[in-house]
């Protein structure tokens, strides 16, 4: 059975169960069964890592449409049930208050959009239980080919808790933890907070979000890295977005590159990326002669600032309703 056949079979099952939803309990059971983190839709998405790029793209499109459709139906049904309960509890003749509907925070919107794309490409999201904010020096630096006194540590002004414990400066430790816990092939993505000793001004923050992607398999090529990032750029910024890769340096990738996108007459760095350094693979017990991989990272706030035309990073954390209502 092809992956599309499995999706359509699941769609039939969902439609059959949806017809039986008639109360809050059955609605919640339906949501957990199909839309939950351990639900059937997520289980099917995990199979995408074994598909060809073309099959992944088509399967991702179909499954995301199915997921969005029933997320909307579940929310609508939930609102209907609450409304029916209100008829029995409240006096309908009383003039209602004027309520303002909330909206997703702009960072949440960007995170959801990015994850929709990379999950559609076959990446599996790694949760916070495997990627703590309070991290050991070993995972944050040493295992990533950044030993003590390495010059690149100066670029990541670090909040140290003890000599060996710190607030993670990057999401890259998730690479190490994942490769130590699981055997390749791996295709994972993680979004979380990182921390730097930076001034809090228009373009810097001591706490911000990053997204980290890791792919390890046999014969992984730099061309696959470029293709993945180019597709991600076009999904986020539009089909006409111009993308290029320029040489760079990161201790845990070799070769390394910056992924840049053109806005007007300026090229802006969006990604740090590269092929996983052979020494990093050896550090986690994976043979670089048998396996290879690529990794990429990007700043969520930077994407949101470009996407929405925001010129001050502090606006994301000030909770000013005048700003949030605009988005």
Domain end marker among 89, 117, 151: 89
Show the tokens assigned to 274: 């590269």
Q: How many domains does the chain have?
A: 2
One domain, residues 152 and 76: no
One domain, residues 140 and 254: yes
One domain, residues 147 and 27: no
One domain, residues 250 and 149: yes
98 falls within a domain:
no
Domain end marker among 30, 57, 89: 89
210 falls within a domain:
yes
Q: Which of 284, 116, 90, 293 is nearest to 191 (CA)?
A: 116
CATH no. for residue 287? 3.30.930.10
Interatomic CA distance for residues 276 and 258, integer angstroms? 14
pLDDT in tens, the chain (327 residues): 688 888 888 889 999 999 999 888 998 999 899 888 888 888 888 888 778 888 888 888 888 898 899 899 999 988 888 777 655 556 677 787 777 777 889 999 999 999 999 999 999 998 777 789 999 999 999 999 888 877 766 666 889 999 899 999 999 999 999 999 999 999 999 999 999 988 888 888 999 999 999 999 999 999 999 999 999 999 999 899 999 999 999 999 999 999 999 988 899 999 999 999 999 999 999 999 999 999 999 999 999 999 888 999 999 998 888 888 887
Angle CA 63–65–70, to nearest 5: 95
Show the tokens assigned to 304: 């949101």
310 falls within a domain:
yes
Angle CA 185–191–197, to nearest 5: 125
pLDDT of 47 reads: 83
One domain, residues 186 and 284: yes
What counts of helices (H) and strands (E) characterise the chain?
11, 9
Interatomic CA distance for residues 33 and 28, integer angstroms? 9
- Residue 264, number of CB atoms within 10 A of its CB: 6
The range of the structural domain enclosing residue 63 comes to 3-89
Tell me the CA distances in angstroms from 123 to 102, 118, 221, 306, one per residue in order.
30, 6, 17, 24
Domain end marker among 89, 115, 150: 89
Interatomic CA distance for residues 116 and 114, integer angstroms? 5
One domain, residues 63 and 120: no
Signed CA dihedral, 322, 323, 326, 327: sign only: negative
Signed CA dihedral, 169, 175, 178, 179: sign only: negative
67 falls within a domain:
yes
Q: Which of 140, 142, 124 is nearest to 132 (CA)?
A: 140
One domain, residues 215 and 316: yes
The helix/strand/coil state of 150 is coil
Show the tokens assigned to 116: 């929709």
pTM, rounded to two decimals: 0.66
One domain, residues 192 and 312: yes
* 165 Cβ neighbours under 8 A, 6+ residues apart: 134, 135, 136, 137
Signed CA dihedral, 18, 20, 21, 22: sign only: positive
179 falls within a domain:
yes
Show the tokens assigned to 254: 């070799």
Signed CA dihedral, 77, 80, 85, 90: sign only: positive
Interatomic CA distance for residues 91 and 94, integer angstroms? 6
- The strand pairing partners of 262, in sequence order, are 267
Interatomic CA distance for residues 189 and 125, integer angstroms? 5
One domain, residues 181 and 34: no
101 falls within a domain:
no
One domain, residues 194 and 272: yes
- Angle of helix 300-308 relative to helix 106-120, nearest 10 degrees, comes to 110
In the sheet with 243-250, reading across from the earlier edge strand, the strands are 124-125, 186-195, 207-217, 292-299, 266-276, 253-263, 243-250
99 falls within a domain:
no
One domain, residues 156 and 303: yes
Show the tokens assigned to 255: 């070769």
One domain, residues 85 and 111: no
190 falls within a domain:
yes
């Amino acid at each position: 059975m092809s992956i599309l056949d499995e999706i359509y079979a699941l769609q039939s099952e969902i439609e059959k169960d949806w017809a039986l939803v008639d109360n809050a309990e059955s609605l919640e059971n339906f949501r957990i069964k199909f839309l939950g983190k351990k639900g059937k839709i997520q289980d099917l998405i995990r199979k995408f890592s074994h598909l060809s790029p073309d099959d992944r793209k088509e399967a991702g499109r179909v499954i995301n449409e199915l997921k969005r459709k029933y997320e909307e139906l579940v929310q609508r049904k939930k609102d209907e049930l609450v409304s029916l309960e209100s008829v029995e509890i409240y006096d309908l003749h009383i003039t209602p208050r004027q309520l303002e509907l909330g909206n997703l925070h702009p960072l949440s919107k960007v995170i959801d959009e990015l994850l929709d794309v990379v999950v559609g490409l076959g990446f599996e999201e790694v949760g916070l239980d495997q990627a703590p904010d309070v991290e050991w020096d070993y995972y944050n630096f040493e295992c990533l080919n950044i030993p003590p006194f390495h010059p690149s540590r100066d670029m990541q002004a670090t909040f140290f808790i003890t000599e060996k414990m710190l607030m993670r400066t990057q999401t890259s430790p998730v690479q190490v933890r994942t490769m130590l816990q699981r055997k390749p092939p791996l295709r994972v993505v993680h979004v979380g907070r990182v921390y730097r000793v930076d001034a809090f001004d228009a373009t810097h923050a001591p706490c911000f979000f990053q997204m980290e992607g890791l792919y390890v398999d046999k014969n992984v090529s730099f061309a696959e890295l470029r293709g993945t990032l180019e597709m991600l750029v076009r999904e986020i910024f539009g089909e006409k977005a111009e993308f290029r890769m320029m040489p760079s340096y990161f201790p845990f990738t070799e070769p390394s590159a910056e992924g840049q996108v053109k806005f007007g007459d300026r090229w802006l760095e969006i990604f740090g990326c590269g092929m996983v350094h052979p020494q990093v693979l050896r550090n986690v017990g994976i043979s670089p002669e048998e396996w290879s991989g690529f990794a990429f990272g990007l700043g969520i706030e930077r994407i949101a600032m470009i996407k929405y035309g925001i010129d001050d990073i502090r606006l994301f954390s000030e909770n000013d309703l005048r700003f949030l209502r605009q988005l």
